[in-house]
Amino acid sequence: MARLALRRARAEARAAERVMGDVETLRSARRAYLLAAVLGAASLPMVLLYLLLVLSSFADTIVTGPDILEARYSLDNWLMFFRGEVAPAAGRLYTTADILATIANTAIVALGVTAVVVFTSVLAGYAFSRMRFRWRRGLMTFIILLHAFPGVALIIAVYAMYVWSSMPLARSEGAMVAYAFAFTVLARASLELPMSIWLMKGFFDRIPWEVEWSALIDGASRLRAWWQIVLPQVKPGIAALAIFAFLAGWEDLIYVHVFLYIGTAGKVKTLATLIEELTANIETSYLPVVAAAGTLYLLPTILFFVLTQKLLLEAYSGGLKA
């Protein structure tokens, strides 16, 4: 009985929606497709930009559009890239090991940023969502405000701190490099913190208090209730956060440029600084190979993108629910 009534109610709701659809939509579906076509045309240059980069990575020249069909395509650029022949005119500057190390460095930074951001924001987001402490509101306001502070102002002083604090390590190159990595990761992760904490707070806010109280009444300590009951329910949120943090660490240019590249006098490169360096030396670089490097660098971004588009848009607008 009840189920039947429910089904009927649902059918009615659907019918109502249909009727509304008939009245309010663009008068016809054709108009919607027309708009889509217009928007598609507007988006075309951007698509073209990405497409040309990817095509160039397989071509014997930088593909510029009109010559898409004239260029010859092969895997040569990619092979040259992985062999380290990225600047043929200057001779063989890199080895395969260098290239792999560069990729690994990029991944280390990205994963490091992910780990730090997830660890700290999940903890702090919970505290801001659920716990009582003095200055709670003020502290959250302050943290959000930090997001607005000019990055340049920070990085000058952070680098000064880096130079000063790494002085004792100057004699050991290994320690120096490790320190540079740690500094890059922590500094870059901190940049993501304000928005990440805010995002996580939003995810925790959505869990009913009663569920957490239930756990306490069942005999769990606050910590255990958090770990066993609350955390599993924000897994999707943590996943979103992790993806954002990874992309942030992966795409970064300024921090790896300052701390890893300048900080180690060019010894530790990531894909970003490698591309920077190669393009800066345009006289000796072979641009299609640089395009291959760029495409490789772009790959994880696109991948995450396709996999998580809905999540991405939601989380991105999740910061404000007016």
Partner 1 sequence: MVEVSLERVTKRFGRVVALDQVSLVFEDGKFTALLGPSGSGKTTLLYIIAGIYKPTSGRIYFGGEDVTDLPPNKRNVGLVFQNYALYPHMTVYDNIAFPLRLRKLPESKIDRKVREVAKMLRIEELLDRYPSQLSGGQQQRVALARALVKEPTVLLLDEPLSNLDALLRVSIRAELKRLQKDLGITTIYVTHDQAEALSMADTVVVIDRGRVQQVDTPQNIYNRPRNLFVATFIGSPPANVLYARLTEKNPSLACVEVNKARFCFEGERAARLSRLGGEEVVLAFRPERARLGTEPRSDMLSIPAEVYVVETLGRENVVTLVVGASMVKVVTPPSQVPRLGESYYVLVDPRDVMLFDPVTELNIDYIEA
Partner 2 sequence: MRPRVNPALFFLLPALTLIAVFYVVPLALSIYIGFTPLRNWNIAGGYLSQVTLENYERLFHMVMYDPDIGKVVATTVVFTVVTLAVNVLGGLALALTMYLMDLSGRELSLGFRTLWMLPRMTPIAVYSLMWYYFFLPGEEGILNSIAMRLGLIDEPVNWGNDPDLLPYGAWAILVVVNGLVGVSFGMVVFYAALRSIPREQIVAARVDGASTLHLVLYILIPQLRWHITYVTVWQLLSLLTTYAHIFLLVEWGAVDEFWGSNWALYVFNKAFALGESDQGLAAAAATILVLIGAGLGVLALRLMGFGRMMAEPRGEV
* Closest among 131, 143, 183, 125 to 315, alpha carbons compared: 125
Q: Does 26 bind partner 2 (CB under 8 A)?
A: yes
* Closest among 124, 271, 137 to 190, alpha carbons compared: 124
Give dist(CA 235, CA 316) in Å, integer.
Answer: 17
* Residue ranges in 117-156 that form contacts with partner 2 under rule CB under 8 A: 119-121, 123-124, 126-127, 129-133, 136-137, 140-141, 143-156
Interface stretch with partner 2, choices 5-13, 47-55, 93-101, 228-236 (CB under 8 A): 47-55
Q: Does 67 bind partner 2 (CB under 8 A)?
A: yes
Which residues, including other chains, have CB under 8 Å from residue 71's CB and lie 6 or more apart?
55, 59, 60, 61, 63
Q: Does 215 bind partner 1 (CB under 8 A)?
A: yes
Cβ closest to partner 2, residue 84 vs residue 263? 263
Cβ closest to partner 2, residue 84 vs residue 109? 109
Query: Contacting partner 2 (CB under 8 A), which of 52, 101, 169, 242?
Result: 52
Give dist(CA 274, CA 81) in Å, integer.
Answer: 11
| Residue 86 · residue 93 · CB < 8 Å | yes
Residue with tokens 């702090």: 124
Interface stretch with partner 1, choices 52-60, 94-102, 216-224, 306-314 (CB under 8 A): 216-224
| Residue 230 · residue 207 · CB < 8 Å | yes
Query: Contacting partner 1 (CB under 8 A), which of 12, 173, 205, 218?
Result: 218
Interface stretch with partner 1, choices 14-22, 94-102, 226-234, 251-259 (CB under 8 A): 226-234
CA atoms within 13 A on the CB side of 39: 6
Interface stretch with partner 1, choices 37-45, 91-99, 227-235, 302-310 (CB under 8 A): 227-235
**Least distance (Å) from partner 1 to the CB of residue 313?**
24
The three-class DSSP label of residue 73 is strand
**Least distance (Å) from partner 1 to the CB of residue 209?**
9
Q: Does 253 bind partner 2 (CB under 8 A)?
A: yes
Could you say which of partner 2, partner 1, none residue 62 binds, taking C-beta under 5 to 8 angstroms by partner kind? partner 2
Q: Does 74 bind partner 1 (CB under 8 A)?
A: no
Here the tokens at position 318 are 């999740």
Q: Does 219 bind partner 1 (CB under 8 A)?
A: yes
Q: Which letter, b or e, does each residue of 30-64 get, where b requires 16 or more Cβ atoms within 10 Å of its Cβ?
A: eeeeeeeeeeeeeeeeeeeeeebbbbbbbbeebbe
Q: Does 210 bind partner 1 (CB under 8 A)?
A: yes
Q: Does 6 bind partner 1 (CB under 8 A)?
A: no
Here the tokens at position 216 are 């306490």
Which residues, including other chains, have CB under 8 Å from residue 42's CB and lie 6 or more apart?
none
Query: Contacting partner 2 (CB under 8 A), which of 258, 260, 289, 292?
Result: 258
What are residue 73's DSSP bridge partners? 59
Residues contributing to the site for partner 1 (CB under 8 A)? 2, 208, 210-211, 213-221, 224, 228-229, 232-233
